[in-house]
């Protein structure tokens, strides 16, 4: 499936092709520790076992404020 990933920390927006199904698999692919982020889709908080859909726009918010 095609996903748009907005990364708050990197201040980036990119399109990716994702072969998996769940958020947990996506974070593993992106090598992101779930402990350090909160993920939203259309302002809805996603949990690791939530399924992702084609053309989803996913926002990765950083838990760690870099101070």
Positive or negative torsion for Cα 42, 44, 49, 50: negative
63 binds another protein per the rule CB under 8 A: yes
34 binds another protein per the rule CB under 8 A: yes
User: Least distance to another protein from the beta carbon of 17, Å?
Assistant: 26
Q: Which residues contact 5 (CB under 8 A, 6 or more apart)?
A: 12, 13, 14, 15, 16, 30, 58, 60
CA angle 39–42–47, rounded 5-degree value: 35
User: Least distance to another protein from the beta carbon of 24, Å?
Assistant: 11
53 binds another protein per the rule CB under 8 A: no
Residues that bind another protein (CB under 8 A): 8-9, 11, 33-36, 38, 40, 44-45, 47-50, 61-67
């Amino acid at each position: 499936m095609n996903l748009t990933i907005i990364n708050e920390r990197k201040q980036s927006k990119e399109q990716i092709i994702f072969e998996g199904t769940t958020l947990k698999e996506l974070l593993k692919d992106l090598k992101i520790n779930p402990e350090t982020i909160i993920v939203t889709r259309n302002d809805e908080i996603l949990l690791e076992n939530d399924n992702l859909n084609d053309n989803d726009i996913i926002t990765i918010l950083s838990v760690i404020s870099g101070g």
